[in-house]
Structure 1
């Protein structure tokens, strides 16, 4: 009787020719083989209906450590094995298989790994070799059975690695016990150990401590070892990591400036020694601390916004940063748009086209324009090129060709050869990557939204290779110019202020009379939105009239272990208190924001910072009366909420906001009149027909480069717009 062979096919990507696979499955069936198929893609791409199929990928309960591990796997083959190795069902199939088959290059490493653990199985790449393996096993069944008896169990390399891993885990867990913590911090001769060994041991202990929630011990370990280690490079890394761990634990770093200065000093020493790669790595370590979200996003204030010069002083003193940000310029100016063929616009983003899609669709429909849209995240090569800022920095600091530079040239050259203008949305990694090379005659336009100003990317970019830098508000431009003073140089790009592309007319829908007493917020998940400020306003209003309530539209963020955790807990307590009386309703995420806003009579912006606040403008377009906090990040500056919006909309504190709410809703007639005025104002300023003309001027305007405007004229700003005010409330 012909023996049954168990065959496991592993696919890292949908097969290019499904018919070939179906034919091969029939051949396996004729040979009496039992076949299972494991696919690293979703069921929507299923390619075979005649065999059992297992779809594998990230585990449902995978945490942040697992996600970070996946991100470090630079090749798809590495990620396929990471997920395959964590899938218990797939491991069982692999242990029982007689033939392991990789259907594509992305699955080869996974098949090799499984073959190391099941040495009885034949490992093959491709369907034809797999069929031959089945035939060979059938032709010599007794010889193969005898050989299999001699190859029971995994390879020695796998066993040795597993033993080392278990011993290491046991040692680490013992070391981070109460007694072990004292031993490691106090008795281990850190000063006499090589710096590399100290760094490795500290990293292992730190990961175990943080993984088990012992942040205080992890911080003490790094700070103590940083004082005792002889190698300044290891000490700087330990100090920066201690600062990041303090932020993760929900507190401000004890010595932020000292840690940044130490990291930058080491980077400068490495740069002078000609070690560009290590210098780049240390700069990124320091900047990851300087621009940690716990300093700027998960809090209600930012040291960068308060005093950019003081906060960035360590970076601005750096000689390595000086070379990195030195103007490299371009060989020639960008060429005017062609007149003998359509203009070619290349739009680039990375995994976020929310603010770009309307613009792309508009120009894709224009007869005189050819459009290409490139999402870096969907391009395997480009995604790797933008994944590591240290590689970009090394490419500049080394002053000579690098492997990264060769890959960049190969990818970037075809993009620049096709385009007349490249529009990069978000001033992040793709924008920085574009400035690593001279764009030639191609015009480069970059749009900076908001949070990029609090990131490392504008700090490492060569803006002399950017022709135009677009902002969505004057106050954001002012802040960015303070954060990146190079943008005021003579060779800096032109700056523009153009609002986000929004279709606002569709938000004008009838509102029920009850909406007059409903305050609303669109988006409240980030700490910067400061929803507790809005709840304070609601409390003050309800002291005068309990009919008022609040509708929160959007998702609440999960702060986890961070400086945001305390705020989030207090906000949840506020919701529980007000929710018991029905004063607050959390609608959550919805695809029908237009419908949700028909219930809102007063739209609130309680944020500490905003670049523009689309949710507020959409609410105003719906006929809700705006109440805007004078955003603290920009209050007192030349531009801010008071210059972006009409003066009566903006208030300084919750009590002033409550008084405005009561005034604008004093009567139904007053409320509807002011709602109509607000809607008319935002539609005349920021509806797509208006901003479309501004984008046309930016991208298709006067071909005489010197005639292009530097920014939107001051006369178009909202400060001079006067809203009719309501009389005092009559109750």
Structure 2
């Protein structure tokens, strides 16, 4: 694979603005959530520093969503119908095939740094075309959101999209975690991009929270508002009956309905919907309005409506309309769901209970006639919406742009890039580093992926050895011997050595004079490498493993402090039996403690299961789990997979009970996720983790864990753990270390661990 360098944008090393191409399979003439997404995505990208081109799907018949964009500096709107970009345009807008073709044509004329797309069919075609591979930012909404919907075909399509995408933009944490668990290729690429709320200036003061007696005897009517599409599952026909139902309860009410998209899949329902909008007393249908005007009309109301059919309660998305109304200061009536409880609190006063009918919602609105209730609900909605502003969205996108379009390192020239080869049979521990190096302007990165430890394309490897300025061998195996043999004068060779190779034959065969640096992940293993291999001390450097603290930083699930985690239990030197000792001691004190094990099973590794002593160990250990009452209901085995960040949401402590480790990433990942490392003092552990996380034996580990939880110190301690891991092992920091070593040969400073501090 050859790096496709960025030709323009912040990634070109000259500080230009990144260039973004945006297309949503949405009609910008109709105000609904998908069209509002296109508008707000362009605004947020522009605010994040991008020059943005928006390709429209349909001919513009009303510019209420498009016109505000044409005045934004750095934004260009391309109109395929008006510009005649294609000859065979149909009346319903671009087909997905036509859209992908036009996007490729625009990109071919002037390459974009990122291509943002929305629409599953469109994304599948864009991914399969490979024209935008590695530059797609795919916004996922119309995807399966439950296990029964995850057919083999759906998983295959989502896998294609994930592989081709630089980022998968997910509205909510629930959607991100679900996607990562279902589609392994999505792990590490899925990032949050919640709905964006952009309010026009000069809005009227909200009526919803006023102490004005709306709806009471002698007061003005309670004003309700709904904006968006009119569809059966959105309960819009039922909403038109609310003024009458409230009148029966002695509450005068009026409904403002804003929007012009009536679903017509059921013609009879569509006729009844139109008739209700046009002829129901107390209902005013405003039709479609420019977004700013729709928001101004909404701001005059007392209560917003987002009550929907229970079929939609399992959605893993958030309604942009709910957030907009909250930002306006409007309290909202909406379904009680876990997502809405997380957003507004379990005691939010205007929830419609599951399966609520028109009469039930009228009862809720009767409560909303009380100004005090309305004011409390309005404040909840306003506070919740504060996290979804354009400014917050721009900050989020700016962080993603820094990853996708980094500045070129000092000492490099994009016009004459440093040529770098990464060679190895298994690059899973190097993937994120390779992604970063590949994105850097000033570096031209190519991969030499060997089929196995020894099998590779010798002609290609020789060609790359002759081409490269710098060679990085991941694993000190036959690949390192090959590149040392073929090293050119002036070329630099870096070899990363893991525990696996240290006791094998290859280090003894390596001509260390041809190697510029041997990289180990911990000071202990660097020292051990010098001792066992007899290499010069200055040839062996320490460069730690990376931890993607941003990907792992997710809100913990309730009860996480009572869940221990263990990632990987094979071979037996991982010592699952010791983790069980810790659990047993904890469950003697509090039965809420459990152990979750995320791992392949030992019989999944033939080289482990064929060894009698290994098999005997696991048979004995698993019998112990079944027979010990303290363990039988306290251990859960979870499938092996890359969805570690999602899994860690329910883990409070990750235990490391091994006989030995070269680094052991799992406790560090736990700390980055907002949990706490619990590490036995295996050799070298004190060079990676500070003493506060180390324990001499399983009894001491159990005592420390119980004390943290029982004394209410969990939040304070986990904050300290995350700060330590972020300071020393954050992906961005380790990437800088590698870049400095590759570009200038600079050896990184050793990690600085805090002095011994009581936990």
TM-score, reference length from structure 2: 0.43
Q: Which has the higher strand share?
A: 2
Structure with bigger helix share is 1
